[in-house]
Amino acid sequence: MSANIAISPIDSQESVDYQAVKEAAAVLRQGGVLAYPTEAIWGLGCDPFNRRAVQQLLLLKKRDPSKGVILIASSIDQLKPWLTGLSAEKMAILEQSWPGPNTWLVQDNGYTPELIRGKHAKVALRVTSHPWVVALCEAFGGPLVSTSANTTGEPPLMTFDAVSSAFGEDVDAVLNGPLGGLERPSRICDLETGEVLRA
């Protein structure tokens, strides 16, 4: 696979460049690691079921595999395999908060790959409202890994230039689109207990 495929957007930050998104999704399907804009910061992503890709992503971030990573989806339907067995009450909580910047820790039902879950018994899930990420998940055909584009302990990267400088030689593609305009990363809550782990 060719490294550092810079995928550029059309001029308007309002419009999704679906051709660029299609090319980025192809990179993901081939087992590549992608840098892409999310709601508040730039992220790194890959196919959550491609163990080699997840390992490469964690290596790039210098992230402890025991910590796990978030999965991001375009719709609640894409996350249904992870949500089987939830009560109607818990499903209603998810449905009311999605799409949006709300990441929920949901009890793993055995569907989640170990590297996604880490040492935890729960998996972190989010349905995004960012149009570029919605289009990316749709083009890919399922949820993606979503973790901040930075090495562990360093601040999240906020621009295409910063991401390209830090990871451009190491990721397989950079999807150059706009951030979603939020001031901080998504809130993280435990679905079972209601505890807020990140405001």
**Minimum mean pLDDT range among 7-11, 171-175, 180-184:** 7-11
- Say which residue the tokens 């595999």 belong to: 65
Q: What are the pLDDT digits (tens) for 137-170?
A: 999 999 999 999 999 999 999 999 999 999 988 9
Answer whether 152's CB lies under 8 Å from 57's CB.
Answer: no
Specify the amino acid at residue 109: N
Sign of CA dihedral 91, 95, 99, 102: negative
Domain range list for the chain: 5-198
Alpha-carbon gap, residue 16 to 14, rounded angstroms: 7
Q: pLDDT of 47-79, one tens digit each?
A: 999 999 999 999 999 999 999 999 999 999 999
- Are the CB atoms for 34 and 192 separated by under 8 Å? no
> What pLDDT was estimated at residue 101?
93
Superfamily for 5-198? DHBP synthase (3.90.870.10)
Asked whether residue 121 carries a pLDDT value surpassing 70, the answer given is: yes
Residues 20-29 have pLDDT tens digits of: 999 999 999 9
* Cα–Cα dist 16/98, whole Å: 21
pTM (whole model) above 0.85: yes
8: pLDDT confidence band, cut at 50, 70 and 90?
very low
Structure confidence by residue, pLDDT tens digits, 93-108:
999 999 999 999 999 9
Cis before 101 (ω within 30): no
pLDDT at site 9: 39
Q: Are 115 and 59 in contact (CB under 8 A)?
A: no
